[in-house]
Amino acid sequence: MAKQQPAASTSAPPSKNQWLSTFVLRIAGYGLLLLTLVDTLALLIPPQLQDPAWELETIGSLVERSPVPLIGFALVISGGRRFRQSLDRFCFQVIPGLAIIIGVIYCLMIPLGISDSLRLGRQNQTTSAALVKQAADIKNLEQRLSEAPAAEVAEWAQKFQPQLTEGRDQETIKAGVLGQLKSNLASLQSQINRASGQPAQLRKQTIKWLVGALIAGLSFLYIGNTARKFPNVRTR
């Protein structure tokens, strides 16, 4: 009867290729984490707290950049506790807690993003209402001036738009004033149209970023919790 190979063969010393491949992966992981740190500091400085637009844009930027640190953490913990020297071993002790903290931060972005989205929605409603009122006022003024005599329009222009009266007769002044009002009204209407389309775009972006924050947060928490469970084994 053939004799079975002993199970202790798994404790055989690792080859040099195994050590080098693991070392390269970890170096790449540390590099990605350092690049993420620099990029995040550049994104957060200077902070504009209490500005919902800046906060929501920052959340979106962090979510869209989250694959880089996720890959970095995955590469750093590759191989578990094996093939680690003193500095690498110390960093490995910090990695699980750091990943968990980052995961919690990403999860906390969700209520903040919802609050920012609601605040931006209210600001957009206020801006839209102001633009509509301004457009109505200009339209009423245009209608009133178009029915007024040229002399009255010229007198109005002399008070409020004197640049339109220089070296021109009354009829030319009236035509210029009405043309300017039509141009202003068209510009306001364009702004109103853009403002009316912003809520739908805001909801779409917010949902995308908050779902991404949830996925990233849970991923960081899983990585951190998994790294803590690696067996405390050192292979030379």
Average pLDDT, the chain: 83
Residue 85's pLDDT band, with cuts at 50, 70 and 90, is: confident
**Contact between residue 117 and residue 202 where contact means Cβ atoms under 8 Å apart:** yes
Mean pLDDT of 47-74: 93
| pTM for this entry | 0.75
Question: Per residue in 185-224, pLDDT tens?
Answer: 888 888 888 888 788 888 999 999 999 999 999 999 999 9
Q: What is the pLDDT of residue 127?
A: 86
Parse the chain into domains and list their residue ranges.
Answer: 15-228
Q: How far apart are CA 66 and CA 106, in angstroms?
A: 9
Dihedral of alpha carbons 160, 164, 167, 168, sign: negative
Neighbours of 200 (CB within 10 A): 9
Q: How far apart are CA 76 and CA 28, in angstroms?
A: 8
Q: How far apart are CA 136 and CA 131, in angstroms?
A: 9
Question: Per residue in 132-155, pLDDT tens?
Answer: 888 888 888 888 888 888 888 777
Residues 6+ apart with CB under 8 A from 14: 82, 83, 235
Mean pLDDT of 167-173: 75
The two structure tokens encoding residue 148: 């007024």
Q: What is the pLDDT of residue 83?
A: 65
Q: What is the pLDDT of residue 189?
A: 85
